[in-house]
A and B are shown apart, each in its own frame.
Chain A
Amino acid sequence: MSDQTVQPIAPDAARLSPAEVASLRRASSWARTVAIIGLAFAVVVGLGLGVFAATSESLRSSALTGVLISILAAVIFAAVAGQQLLGYRRGIASFLAHREPALPASFRNLRTFFWAYSIYMAFSAAMGVLTLLRVL
């Protein structure tokens, strides 16, 4: 990955306890599951959305436009999240297996994932407010 920096482990680095190593392993394993499901969702639903958008003539005037925008946002988020989580998982695996200094890049991936999730949540909340205004 391009944002991975190779840095020597600092001499005063703190050693990880077995419980911390187990936590990292668990997080990495589950992150891979989430990433694979997220990317599969992005590909399948993205293709479906693309086919629907290409074949539907009355898309702009359709009442479904709001729903389609929400699905598009979910697809974009799933793709970004999947990519970041794969980077997170790869960094931890590389750190645990080969003692490579990939942990900072891994945590950077986690941070980017959280920001992407925040943007998606803000978008979802905004769409929720719009729906609420329509309901009221």
Chain B
Amino acid sequence: MPANPFEPPQTADLDRSAPPVQAPLAVSEEALGELIATAPAARWLTRLISLSIAVGLIEAAAVMTGHWSMGVKAGRLLSTAVGTGIATLFLIVLRRLATATERLRTGDTGARAEALAAQASYFKILGILALIAAGLLILGAGAGYLVGRMAAGR
């Protein structure tokens, strides 16, 4: 029995919120074309990441062989190792994405799942690293603030 006996009878479609859409999810030709068009950008990005790794390694080698303190050398070694590791992770996922989208271009529709999975992996890695970087930045800013206050109070 309804709470208000004078309310008009409810009709299924008009008086309730819109039901969830049950139509199947499908990728249009246009969307597929746009997905394929990301391949050159992803490929260029892998080349530039490779170049960046090479520059970082040469720079680290130059610091290691130069007249720098042990602290500078150790810091440089650590930052290069971490940076190279992260860049290599991105390189692997982006290569997967670029290869899958290039296979899509040749008409291999099975590569679509691989391209979408590579996108998800890429953003997951990027997201986790962004969260870690944000945490470190906040910690660094907090530590800097505390050190500044201690120095001012002295």
Measured CB to CB, the residues of A under 8 A from B are 5, 7, 9-10, 12-17, 19-24, 26-27, 30-31, 33-34, 37-38, 40-41, 95-99, 101, 103-104, 106-108, 110-111, 114-115, 117-118, 121-122, 124-125, 128-129, 131-132, 135-136
B142 at the binding interface (Cβ < 8 Å)? no
- The answer to whether A24 touches B116, judged by C-beta atoms less than 8 angstroms apart, is yes
Task: Please list 28 pairs of residues, one from A and one from B, whose beta carbons are closer than 8 Å in the complex, sorted by A's number.
Answer: A7-B30, A14-B27, A14-B109, A15-B26, A21-B25, A23-B116, A23-B120, A26-B123, A27-B120, A30-B126, A33-B131, A34-B127, A38-B130, A99-B23, A99-B25, A101-B31, A104-B33, A107-B31, A107-B35, A107-B37, A111-B38, A115-B41, A117-B45, A121-B48, A125-B48, A128-B55, A129-B55, A132-B55
Residues 101-127 of B, flagged 1 when their CB comes within 8 A of A and 0 if not, give 000000001001100110110111011
Interface of A is mostly: helix
User: Which A residue's beta carbon lies closest to that of B125?
Assistant: A30
Bound-state CA distance A135–B131 (Å) is 32
Which chain B residues lie closer than 8 Å to A41 at the CB level? 134, 137
Known: A24-B120, A104-B33, A125-B48. A13 touches B27 (CB 8 A): yes
User: Which A residue's beta carbon lies closest to that of B51?
Assistant: A125
Measured CB to CB, the residues of B under 8 A from A are 21, 23-35, 37-38, 41-42, 44-45, 48-49, 51-52, 55-56, 58-59, 62-63, 66, 109, 112-113, 116-117, 119-120, 122-124, 126-127, 130-131, 133-134, 137
- The answer to whether A136 touches B38, judged by C-beta atoms less than 8 angstroms apart, is no
